[in-house]
Amino acid sequence: MGWLRYIVLLPLVGAAINGIVGAPLERRFGRRVITVVAVGVMLAAAALAIAAAVTLAARPEHDRQIVDRLFTMISLGRVHVDFALALDPLSTIMILVITVVGALIHAYSAGYMADDPSYWRYFAYLNLFVFSMLLLVLGDSFLTLFIGWEGVGLCSYLLIGFWYREPANARAGMKAFIVNRVGDFGFLAGVALLFWGLAGSWSVIDHRYYADYPRLVPTLDLRLVHDQLAVAPFAQAFAAKTFLGAPLPLVVALLLFLGAAGKSAQLPLYVWLPDAMAGPTPVSALIHAATMVTAGVYLMVRLHFLFALSPAAMTVIATVGVATALFGAIVALFQYDLKRVLAYSTISQLGFMFLGAATGAWWPAMFHLVTHACFKACLFLGAGSVIHGTHTQDMREMGGLAPLMPRTRWSYLVGCWAIAGFPWAAGFYSKDEILARAYERSPLLWLAGAVAAMLTSFYMFRSYYLTFEGRAASEEQRHAVHESPRSMTWVLLALAAASIVVGPLVGLPELWSGREPLLARWLAPVTAGALTATPERRGLELALMFASLVVATVGWIAARLLYKDLRAREGALATLRSRLGGVPALVLDGFRVDALYDATFVRAFGATARTAAWFDVHVVDGVIAALGALARAAAFITAAIDHYLVDGAVNGVADLLLGAGRALRRVQTGRINNYVLGVAMGVVMLIVLTSWL
Amino acid sequence: MIIGLSHFLVVSAILFGLGLLTVATRRNAVAILMGVELILNAAALNFVAFSHYVEGAVTGMVFALFIIVLAAAEAAIALAIVLAIFRHFHSIDANDVSTLKD
């Protein structure tokens, strides 16, 4: 299957064209060419992805796998790492989301960025991001996956700091990159430990099992790791290993989760995502809502067999997930920046996904990933449309936009509807599925999740009412604001439609339709064996569903009461605010976690860096300067030796010879008489000498 | 008084000493040549004298003849050189012909 690579390579080609010759192309032929290239490759990739999905669906269930090997990256003894792409049902879902939502957002960007001076740079980055993301989800080995993993991190950094003339934006980009490095360390360490653990346990059971299982070689190949851990004695040997006293599966799972938490903005490492809103809004929609931040969830589902080996790790991840869901929702309550509301909402929703994955609800986690990609992209692009129209991100300066921006308003409302979890919209099915699984694990998890869901409903409708309802902030704004161009609004409507359609289409609960949801069936080959069968408790499921509905409604009504007409409720809000005291300000700052990190990690690292710099300047430089002085002294001495001893010897010999020559030339008088006299005297001397001796 | 070998040798030595004196003291090139002739003749006399006292030997006489011929040839060449020097330096003083020294 050689064509799989073109799905990945097409965006790379687009990035290369726009990145290398984008500036001259734009000068020569105008921006249309840039747009055509960028959106064209995305459309082609999306078409190929759909074709790939259809091809895969046409195959029998056990054969749903397409592998495309490009070349061998490493071949060392028994270890072979290919640069290979593999398409299975799980990555099919991911590439569909990435290419389809990606293509829509590319199209939207053409309108949104139309006046930006760095048009070609933007699309080069965006295409490069899609390339990296596709590599991440299609990569067949940890190494290929990691290339994509780092690539999306790089593109995220480039796009957050896209308007780098503003120092704050550049700082936000760096923050995202550095926080992600912490996660990447976890990822790399986890992979290294996994490799060590597998290769190690292989050597332990080498003699007994090698004949039976010739595939038990040290490997970085994702599917091979899966196959190896499916061999029971092998998996037991792996599970029995320890690292620093802790069971190896726990350590590996937690380290990999650290990587996932960095990418997916989970609790200790979420701090970069709110700041990432400094980038252009379509970027926030594509990278920081729909695709990149879900890479962690994808990683977990991809490695579900590994995580399933350690129930303790699963408990930790479930706790972190639900805590993140609650935390994100609480912080989102008091935000005034429209994009920050959505950012914290994304953190919260990602927490839901991790909660699902950690309770063994693999397909609901993926389901929520897909629906979230649709409705969050819709919400972000809606926010982008609002920002495009009003030139502000502060919701206090908005209000009453509903009649001015009808299409934006309706699509945003649908997005709120979907994320809040009202029936028929996507979020209802996916969130319910996750919460139901969480209830089976522990009612406490469900309770925390339900509270987070209620808060979600509240803050989303709060943002809706503040933005679109009530009275306009000012008369001028009322006249200045206009609906965004059609090239942007049709994307909004498409995504809003997807937010409604996708849920019932792929995840209609068994309770309603009488058959297993499409997505569950589709993912069954991937998550086979790991899927915990849903117990037949219709009553409970219905009750939970009803509870979710109640929770969403409560949130909505509360938001409507408080914010429907903000200026009419000023007084009530003021009393509420005074009763809460300093809490809103605290929450607005995200519980001052940033300040905490600044005070601890950033300061500690800053101090370390300063100490290192001081050490560098004073000690290392001093040593080097001393060495230099020493070398100079040595050179001075050798120069003296050279000058006086060596040159002296040479010149001395020369002077000696010169002097001798001068002295001896007197002998050569040039008078023939003298010479003759000399000869005669010599002869006489010889005669005398010979007669004596 | 019987004239023996030593008399010949004494005459020859005196002749040689006079020749050497001439060569060593005279600055006139022609005079120097004349001194050289004296030295050569002293040598030839020696050869002839020794030859006389050796039974049936003619080697010394042959040497004397060769020396005479050689002296003639030498004189011819040397005089030619002296002529050439005179043409060039307008002098036959040996001390004037010392341009190679400096």
B61-80 per-position pLDDT tens digit: 899 999 999 999 999 999 99
Q: Residue B47 to residues A40, A473, B13, B75, B79: CA-CA distances in angstroms?
A: 124, 147, 12, 21, 26
| Nearest neighbour of B95 by CB, restricted to A668, A671, A676 | A671
Q: Residue A254 to residues A189, A234, A265, A382: CA-CA distances in angstroms?
A: 10, 21, 15, 36
Based on the structure, what is the number of domains in chain A? Answer: 1
Model confidence at B13, pLDDT cuts 50, 70, 90, reads very high
Average pLDDT on A537-564 reads: 82
Please report the pLDDT score of residue A576 as a whole number. Answer: 73
Model confidence at A559, pLDDT cuts 50, 70, 90, reads confident
Q: Give pTM, 2 decimals.
A: 0.76
Q: Residue A530 to residues A308, A420, A442: CA-CA distances in angstroms?
A: 7, 29, 19
- What gap in Å lies between CA B26 and CA A122, rounded to an integer? 110
Query: Would you give the DSSP letter of residue A220?
Result: -
Please report the pLDDT score of residue A99 as a whole number. Answer: 93
* Interface contact A670-B98, CB threshold 8 A: yes
Please report the pLDDT score of residue B78 as a whole number. Answer: 92
Please report the pLDDT score of residue A475 as a whole number. Answer: 72
User: Does the pLDDT value for residue A567 go beyond 70?
Assistant: no
As a three-state string, the secondary structure of A415-448 is HHHHHHCCCCCHHHHHHHHHHHHHHHHCHHHHHH
Please report the pLDDT score of residue A507 as a whole number. Answer: 76
B5-101 topology per CATH? Helix Hairpins (1.10.287)
In a domain, A275, yes or no: no
Cβ atoms within 10 Å, residue A434: 28
The tens digit of pLDDT for each residue in A470-494 reads 777 777 777 778 888 888 889 999 9
Beta bridge partners of A139: A85
Q: Does A669 touch chain B (CB under 8 A)?
A: yes
Q: How many residues does chain B have?
A: 102
Please report the pLDDT score of residue A436 as a whole number. Answer: 85
Model confidence at A540, pLDDT cuts 50, 70, 90, reads confident
Nearest-neighbour CA in chain A from B23: distance (Å): 6
Give the residue among A130, A590, A112 at the shortest CA–CA distance from A348.
Answer: A590
Query: Would you give the DSSP letter of residue A535?
Result: P
Please report the pLDDT score of residue A633 as a whole number. Answer: 95
Maximum CA pair distance of chain A? 148
Please report the pLDDT score of residue A27 as a whole number. Answer: 87
Model confidence at A63, pLDDT cuts 50, 70, 90, reads confident
Of A214 and A264, the one with more pLDDT: A264
Average pLDDT on A523-539 reads: 64
Please report the pLDDT score of residue A208 as a whole number. Answer: 55
User: Does the pLDDT value for residue A190 go beyond 80?
Assistant: yes
A220-234, A604-618, B3-17: least confident range: A220-234
Of A517 and A28, the one with more pLDDT: A28
| Nearest neighbour of B101 by CB, restricted to A668, A676, A680 | A668
Q: Which residues of B touch A680 (CB under 8 A)?
A: 20, 24
- What gap in Å lies between CA A536 and CA A6, rounded to an integer? 44
Please report the pLDDT score of residue A651 as a whole number. Answer: 92
Please report the pLDDT score of residue A214 as a whole number. Answer: 60
Q: Which chain B residues touch A if contact means CB-CB below 8 Å?
A: 20, 23-27, 32, 94-95, 98, 100-101
Q: Which site among B21, B95, B96, B97 would you substitute to test the A interface, given the most A Cβ atoms closer than 10 Å to its Cβ?
A: B95
Average pLDDT on A639-643 reads: 91
In a domain, A616, yes or no: yes
* Interface contact A673-B24, CB threshold 8 A: yes
* Interface contact A676-B23, CB threshold 8 A: yes
Average pLDDT, chain A: 86
User: Does the pLDDT value for residue A537 go beyond 70?
Assistant: no
Q: Does A664 touch chain B (CB under 8 A)?
A: no
| Nearest neighbour of B27 by CB, restricted to A669, A670, A673 | A673
Beta bridge partners of A243: A246
Model confidence at A590, pLDDT cuts 50, 70, 90, reads confident
Closest alpha carbon within chain A to B102: A670
Beta bridge partners of B93: B28
Please report the pLDDT score of residue A153 as a whole number. Answer: 92
Q: Which site among B33, B36, B85, B101 would you substitute to test the A interface, given the most A Cβ atoms closer than 10 Å to its Cβ?
A: B101
Average pLDDT on A410-414 reads: 91
Q: Does A673 touch chain B (CB under 8 A)?
A: yes
Average pLDDT on A559-571 reads: 74
As a three-state string, the secondary structure of A202-256 is HHHHHHHHCCCCCCCCCCCEHHHHHHHHCCHHHHHHHHHCEECCEEHHHHHHHHH
* Interface contact B24-A680, CB threshold 8 A: yes
In a domain, A667, yes or no: yes
N-terminal to C-terminal alpha carbon distance within chain A: 111
Average pLDDT on A553-581 reads: 76
Model confidence at A1, pLDDT cuts 50, 70, 90, reads low
User: Does the pLDDT value for residue A497 go beyond 80?
Assistant: yes
Average pLDDT on A185-214 reads: 72
Please report the pLDDT score of residue B97 as a whole number. Answer: 80
Which tokens hold the place of A239? 């599970």
Please report the pLDDT score of residue A201 as a whole number. Answer: 57
Of A130 and A60, the one with more pLDDT: A130
* Interface contact A676-B20, CB threshold 8 A: yes
Model confidence at A347, pLDDT cuts 50, 70, 90, reads very high
A321-330, A499-508, A626-635: least confident range: A499-508
Average pLDDT on A642-650 reads: 91
- What gap in Å lies between CA A291 and CA A172, rounded to an integer? 19
* Interface contact A672-B94, CB threshold 8 A: yes
The tens digit of pLDDT for each residue in A366-391 reads 999 999 999 999 999 999 999 888 88
Could you state, in order of their start, the residue ranges of all structural domains in chain B?
5-101
Which tokens hold the place of A416? 């709120």
- What gap in Å lies between CA A378 and CA A410, rounded to an integer? 11
**Residues whose CB falls within 8 Å of the CB of residue B85, separated by 6 or more in sequence, listed in order:** B29, B91, B92, B97
* Interface contact B101-A669, CB threshold 8 A: yes
Model confidence at A14, pLDDT cuts 50, 70, 90, reads very high
Average pLDDT on A275-280 reads: 89
Please report the pLDDT score of residue A536 as a whole number. Answer: 55
Model confidence at B24, pLDDT cuts 50, 70, 90, reads confident
**Residues whose CB falls within 8 Å of the CB of residue A192, separated by 6 or more in sequence, listed in order:** none
- What gap in Å lies between CA A508 and CA A518, rounded to an integer? 8
User: Does the pLDDT value for residue A514 go beyond 70?
Assistant: no
Domain span at A647: 593-680
In a domain, A597, yes or no: yes
Please report the pLDDT score of residue A202 as a whole number. Answer: 55
Average pLDDT on A584-600 reads: 76
User: Does the pLDDT value for residue A258 go beyond 90?
Assistant: yes
In a domain, A671, yes or no: yes
Q: What is the ipTM of this complex?
A: 0.77
Q: Which residues of B touch A668 (CB under 8 A)?
A: 101
N-terminal to C-terminal alpha carbon distance within chain B: 57
Closest alpha carbon within chain A to B95: A671
